Amino acid sequence: MAVEESAPDLLTVFKALADESRLKIIGLLATRERSVDELATSLKLKPPTVSHHLATLKENGLVTMRTSGTTHVYRFRPEALRELNRRLAPEKLAIPDDEQGDDWERKVLADFSEEGRLKAIPVNERKRLAVIKWFARKFEPGRRYPELEVNAIVAEFVNDFASVRRYLVDYRFMERRNSVYWRTDTAE
């Protein structure tokens, strides 16, 4: 019964995310807060159109709005995508992975995690490599992931999804082209 109750919520969120302009808005808001006019200028859309899209995103909990004088300023809520990911793939929440990696890698993950989330990305390169390799195993080989989905998967475990995304590419665990990512063979 719980699945049936959550299905309409998931469906409305997916419908909200199915629009290209809304995805672009989320992409812009992921970097910083913006006003309707800033978004309209960046997207070359009329402010009423942007306001309509923002209202849909706000209804689905993907953005929040605050006022600054007479201006409405919007912010992306990455935790909404984390919740969506949690509902779709709850099995991905365990840190560390008991199935893969050696004892040392599992110890590093345990040392840097708390309650299923990373406390920090290690500064030590060897430890960071172990953590990034663990992230790489969260992605299926042969599957293509839009950047927004990569962000949502990584954000389940750490807020700094941009750094992890960059490390995944820098360490060659993933490749990227036109904001689409895929896992490489080195992530095994």
pTM of the model: 0.50
Rg (CA), the chain: 18
Q: What is the pLDDT of residues 93-127, one digit of tens each?
A: 445 444 556 788 888 888 888 877 888 889 999 99
- The pLDDT assigned to 69 comes to 92
Quick one: 43 exposed, middle or buried, by C-beta within 10 A (0-12, 13-18, 19+)? middle
Q: What is the pLDDT of residues 11-62, one digit of tens each?
A: 788 888 889 999 999 989 988 999 999 999 999 999 999 999 999 999 988 9
Domain 2-76 fold is Arc Repressor Mutant, subunit A (1.10.10)
Residue whose tokens read 């793939």: 89
User: Where exactly are the structural domains of the chain?
Assistant: 2-76, 92-187
